[in-house]
Amino acid sequence: MTPAPRPFLLLLAMLLAIGAFMLTGEEPMKLNPLTPEEARVILHKGTEPPFSGQYHDHHATGTYHCRQCDAPLYRSADKFDSGCGWPSFDDEIPGAVRRQPDADGRRTEIVCARCGGHLGHVFLGEGFTPKNTRHCVNSLSLAFRPAESVASTASGVGSGTSPATSRGRAIFAGGCFWGVEHLMQQQEGVIEVTSGYIGGHTENPTYREVCSHQTGHAEAVEVIYDPARVSYETLARLFFEIHDPTQADGQGPDLGDQYRSEIFYLDEHQKAVALQLIEQLRAQGLAVVTRVTPAGRFWKAEDYHQDYYVKKGGTPYCHRRVKRF
């Protein structure tokens, strides 16, 4: 049989694609080319060696997509360290992952709901997180995309990372800002920490006004960080470990509404991370009182409050790190 001319085959493929679009109203699915090792895992349901994948110890903020079709599958807020050697998630983006019986007759396989590419397996009832679910996923099945949102300024409301600046922004209130600032500054990936006021109803408040309990502001810190080196979730975990999230309107001997525990979120991702971490702590029996509030304007505090312990020496008197996760 004489092979069909190449131009004819190209024309036939184009006609089939046009026909599919006319029938379904959707363009044909575009699939990315795969390396032989990616094809072994994604197409032939293989497994990469444990602790070998690029995402098993990966903590940046963003979304994990299907390597084959680019469909979003998992959020970084749902990723956790199970110690198994593969990326682990306790939840998926709704409708993104399909479960089906594995060929071994024992396990439950998970595949991309869009293209059917093999991801790994899902396990229930292990108790790693309050959701009692572990999606054990091959790194080779994933492609990570960092969070992208509006760049921030100290005088406005912005969040996440910006392709132009590659900087993230977070705001935490957990008692006297001197101690929170000091401990946040020691975190790898943090670029700058500024002490200030947020959450009140007056403009440009002074320290004296905030301490009068008439403005409604909390002492807080604005953290500017490099998302390639530290994730928002890591910073939020640190926040919960360097102050007592069960003490209302105070930290240690510092009492008053300006010393309250509160996370001021800048986007929905930050909100989801904060609420998930609070859920985890409450599942441990901690009566967490931390508020989760949309961020308003952050006002920089007076210069003598900035880098307080760097200038004065010593260590925080009401903040210390306590392992909670």
Residue 152 located in a structural domain = no
Q: What is the per-residue pLDDT for 166?
A: 61
On whether the pTM is more than 0.75, the answer is: no
pLDDT means per 10 residues, the chain with 325 residues, are 46 50 54 92 96 90 91 91 94 92 95 96 94 96 73 39 63 92 91 92 91 91 91 95 92 88 93 94 94 92 84 77 86
Residue 154 located in a structural domain = no
**Same domain for 194 and 72?**
no
Active site residues: 176
**Same domain for 140 and 197?**
no
**Same domain for 196 and 93?**
no
Number of domains in the chain: 2
CATH number of the domain enclosing 213: 3.30.1060.10
**Same domain for 135 and 178?**
no
**Same domain for 91 and 184?**
no
**Same domain for 75 and 175?**
no
**Same domain for 180 and 303?**
yes
Range of the domain at 263: 168-311
DSSP 46-89: --PPTT-STTTT---SEEEEETTT--EEEEGGGEE--SSSS-EE
d(CA 132, CA 150): 34
Residue 6 located in a structural domain = no
- Helix (H) or strand (E) holding 24, with range, is helix 6-24
**Same domain for 142 and 172?**
no
**Same domain for 204 and 72?**
no
**Same domain for 95 and 203?**
no
d(CA 270, CA 277): 11
Q: What is the per-residue pLDDT for 180?
A: 93
Residue 3 located in a structural domain = no
